[in-house]
Structure 1
Amino acid sequence: MGNADSPTLKRSLTLKYVVFFGLAFMAPKTFFSTYGVAVQSTNGMLPTAYAIALVVMLFTAYSYAQLVKAFPKAGAAYTFTQKSISPHIGFIVGWTIIIDYMFSPMISSLLVGIALKAYFPSIPMFVWILSFIVIMTTVNILGIKFAANLNMYLLLLQILLFALFFILTMKGLLAGKGAGTLFSTAPFFDSEIPLPALLSVVPILCFTFLGFDAVTALSEETKNPAKTLPKAIYSITLIGGFLYIAGSYFAQLIYPEFQSFKNPESAYLEIAMYIGGNIFTSIFVAIGLTAGFASAVASGTSASRILYAMGRENVLPKKIFGYLSPKYRTPVFNILIVGVIALSALFLNLTTAVSLINFGALFAFFFVNLAVVAHYYFRKKQRSFQGTIRYLIIPLIGAALIGLFFIKLDKHSLMLGGIWLLTGFVYLLNLTKMFRQPPPELAFEEA
C-alpha cells in the first residue's frame, strides 16, 4: 500500500455533499433534453415508464446500499464483485463500468457543444468542446471538496429550473392551457398501449438514474461511509424518480399534443416557449449548460477514482493510475486521461456513446445484485427467514429485472459493449497468465 508518508484520499464529504454529488452526476435537467423522444416512444405514458424504471432502480440501489456497508472502499461495483464473487469477475465488471464513467464526461461535452453551436452559430463546435473539457479537468484536479462545492451550486440551479417549470405549468393549466386541469390519469394510463411496448423504453430511462451508483466510488472520501452512503444512495434515487415522474406528468398535461413537436429532440424548448415565452426559454438553455458541466465534473471524478482503485494495486499500471498528487491529493493522471477520452466528443456521435454506457451500466448492475447473494447469503450465511428475503430474494429480483432489460438493449449497444468486454477478457488472460494466477486484488486496509 506504500509507506505512511504517501498521499491518501481525504475524508471530507458529509451526506449533503454526497447526495448533491450523485444528483449532479445524474443531471436531472437531462430529463427535459430527452423528453420529446421519450414521450413519443412511450405513446404518452412517460410517467408510468419512469415509475417502472424507479422501481427497477430501487432494487439495484438496495444492493449497492448493502454492499457499501460491507466494503466502504473506493472502487464501487468493481470492489463489490471482486470481494464477493471472484477477483476475475470483479476485474471484468470494473472493466465494463470504466466505459460508463469514461464516456459520461464525453456525452456532457458533446451536449454542451451542440447547445452552444445552436446558440452561437458563428463559433465552431470544437471551440466549445475543448474549452469545456479544459475547465472540467482543472476543477477535478483542484480537489474533491472544491468540485463538490461547485456542483452543489450548479445543482441548485437545476432544482430551481424544475421549480420554475412546475409553477409556470400549474399557472398555465389553471388558466385553461393544455389539459386545463391539475389532475388527470391520462399521462399514466392508456388502455390502447400494450405493456411490452412500454417496457421496451424503460432500459433507456434507467440511465437517467445513473448517479446513485457513482457515489460508491467516493467511499474513501466520505465521513462514516457505511452509514452515510446507503442514505445517500436511496435519497438520490428517490429524488431523481420524483423529479422525472412529476416533470413528465406536468409536461404531458400542459402539452397533450406530444405527437406535434416540430423536433422531438428539442421539444422541451417548444414547451418552455409555450409556458414562459422567451425569458423562460433563455433561462432553460443557460441552466442546461451548467447541468452538463456539473454532470461532467461528477462523472470525471468517479472515473478517476475507479482507475485509481485499479491502479493502486497494479491491476492497471500503478505508476500512472495509482498516482496521487501530493499537493491536491487527487489522482491527477487519471483525471487527465478522462479529459483526453472526453475529446472523442469531437468525432463520436451521441448514439454510439450512449450505447456503450447502457451496456456498461446494466452489466455492472446485474453483478452487483448477485454480489449481495454471494457475500451475505453464502459467505456470511445470513439464511434466517429475514436474511433470505433481504440477501437472496430481493437481490435476485433486482438481477432478474436488470437481466430482462439487458436483453432488450439494441444491437448497437450489444455489439459495441461485447467488443469492449472481449478486449477486457483478453487483457485479463494476459494479466493472469491464462488464469494460472489471480489478478491483483484491491488491498483493503485504510491507506
Structure 2
Amino acid sequence: MCSGITSASSAAVAFGDTYLAEFITSPMPLMAILFIALLGVINFRGVRESVTTNVVLTCIEIGGLLIIIGVGAWAVLNGAGEPSRLVEFNTQDQTMLVAITSATSLAFFSMVGFEDSVNMAEETKDPARVFPKAMLWGMVIAATIYIFVSVTSSLLVPAGDLEAAESGALLKVIDIGAPGMPREIFSAIGLFAVINSALINMLMASRLVYGMANERIIPKVFGTVHPFRRSPWVAIVFTSVIAMVLVSTVDIDVLGGTTALLLLVVFAVVNVAVLALRRDPVPHKHFRAPTIIPVFAAIFCLYLASPLSGRPARDYVVAAILLVVGLVLWGVNHLAMRRSSEAATADE
C-alpha cells in the first residue's frame, strides 16, 4: 500500500513539474494535489471505469515510448549519437558492484506495477492459466521496450544530462534526436503516461486498505463502501490524502527510491512465502515456478533493499515514517477489538 502511494506521488510530481509545465505555468504542489484529487474521483467511480481508462492510457504510453525508440534510431542512422557511451563505466567513488546494484535498485522502480494486477486476478476467467502468461509476457515486453529506450537515450544524451533532467529525461532525447518535433506532443503523451501509472497504483492502494479493514488488520471504518457506487470511499480518501502530503513535502528522487525499497522488501517476503506455501497442498490447479527462482529472487531483493547496494539513508527514513503510520492504525484497531471483546465477555 505504501509503495503504491509513493509511486503515485512520484507520478504526480512528474505530472505537475515536468509535462504540464510545457503547457501552463502553475505551482507544482498545487497541480500535483489537484492531480491526486482527480485520480480519487476516477477511483471512486469504480473498477470498470478505472481499468478502461488504464487500458486506453497504456496504449498511448506505449506509443510515446515507440516514438522515443524511433527518434533515437533515426538520429543514430543519420550520424548522431555516441556509441562509446554504451560501454562507459563511470563509478566515481564507488566499486563496480555497488555502482551496478545501486542503479539496479533504482531502475527497479520502472518495473513496478505488475504486482498490482494480482489484486484483480480473481476478476479473470481461469486465472491459473491466463494470469501467469499475461504477467510473464507483459514483463518481457515491457523490459524489451525499456532496454531499447535506455540504449537510444544513452546514445543521444550523456548520462549526466539524463540524470540532471530527472523526470524530463525523455524530453532531452526528443530535443536532440528530433529538434523539429514540438515538445508539446511528447509532453501530452507524458501526461497520459504518468496519469496511467498513478491511477493503477492508487486503485491498488485503496483496495489493499479496504481488504485489510475487512480482515480486521486495521480499523473497520476503512472498509466502508459507498451505498450507490459500492466503492471503498474511506480508503480512497485516506490514500489520496497521504499522497497529497507526500507530493507537497518530498522530492521525486526520494519518492522513487522509497517505492523501490518498499517493493523490494515486499517481493523478498513474497518469494519466501512462495516456498513456505508449497508445504500446504491445494486441490485446485495452480502455477508453479521452478524452486531456484524464488530462492534467488528473495536473496537478490534483500540485497538490493539493504545499504550494501548503495541505497541512500533518506529512502529508509520515508519508508519508516509510512510504515509507522500503518503500525499505528494496526495498534488502534488491536486495542479497539480487544476492548470490544472484553465488553462482550463482561456482558455474558
TM range (shorter): 0.7 to 0.9
* Aligned 8 A contact 1:218 1:305 in 2: no
RMSD (Å) for aligned C-alpha atoms = 2.9
**Which position in structure 1 is the counterpart of 2:53?**
150
**Which position in structure 1 is the counterpart of 2:38?**
135
Structure 1 segments unaligned to the other structure (5+ residues):
1-97, 382-386, 437-447
- Report the CA distance between 1:218 and its aligned residue: 1.5
- Report the CA distance between 1:169 and its aligned residue: 2.0
Structure 1 window deviating more from structure 2 (342-351 vs 413-422): it is 413-422
Q: Higher helix share goes to which structure?
A: 2
Between the aligned partners of 1:425 and 1:142, the Cα distance in structure 2 is 29
- Report the CA distance between 1:334 and its aligned residue: 1.3
Residues 191 and 306 of structure 1: CA distance in aligned 2, closer, same or farther (over 3 Å): closer
Residues 358 and 270 of structure 1: CA distance in aligned 2, closer, same or farther (over 3 Å): closer
Residues 236 and 154 of structure 1: CA distance in aligned 2, closer, same or farther (over 3 Å): same
**Which position in structure 2 is the counterpart of 1:277?**
179
Which one of 236, 245, 248 corresponds to residue 335 of structure 1? 236
Residues 187 and 232 of structure 1: CA distance in aligned 2, closer, same or farther (over 3 Å): farther
* Aligned 8 A contact 2:206 2:239 in 1: yes
1:118 aligns with 2:21: yes
Which one of 360, 373, 377 corresponds to residue 275 of structure 2? 373
Structure 2 segments unaligned to the other structure (5+ residues):
283-287, 339-348
- Report the CA distance between 1:424 and its aligned residue: 4.7
**Which position in structure 1 is the counterpart of 2:121?**
219
Query: For residues 43-442 of structure 1, what are the structure 2 equivalents within 5 Å?
Result: 98-115=1-18, 118-119=21-22, 122-179=25-82, 186=84, 189-190=87-88, 194-255=96-157, 257-259=158-160, 263-265=164-166, 266-318=168-220, 320-344=221-245, 345-376=247-278, 378-380=279-281, 390-391=290-291, 393-407=292-306, 408=309, 409-421=311-323, 424=326
Structure 1 window deviating more from structure 2 (148-157 vs 418-427): it is 418-427
Percent sequence identity over aligned pairs: 25
Between the aligned partners of 1:298 and 1:309, the Cα distance in structure 2 is 16
Residues 364 and 134 of structure 1: CA distance in aligned 2, closer, same or farther (over 3 Å): same
* Aligned 8 A contact 1:212 1:232 in 2: no
Between the aligned partners of 1:427 and 1:154, the Cα distance in structure 2 is 34
Amino acid at match of 2:237: L
Residues 432 and 243 of structure 1: CA distance in aligned 2, closer, same or farther (over 3 Å): same
* Aligned 8 A contact 1:358 1:413 in 2: no
* Aligned 8 A contact 1:324 1:332 in 2: yes
- Report the CA distance between 1:370 and its aligned residue: 0.2
1:201 aligned counterpart, secondary structure: helix
Residues 316 and 178 of structure 1: CA distance in aligned 2, closer, same or farther (over 3 Å): same
- Report the CA distance between 1:223 and its aligned residue: 3.2
Residues 398 and 292 of structure 1: CA distance in aligned 2, closer, same or farther (over 3 Å): same
TM-score using structure 1 length: 0.65
Amino acid at match of 1:338: T
TM-score using structure 2 length: 0.82
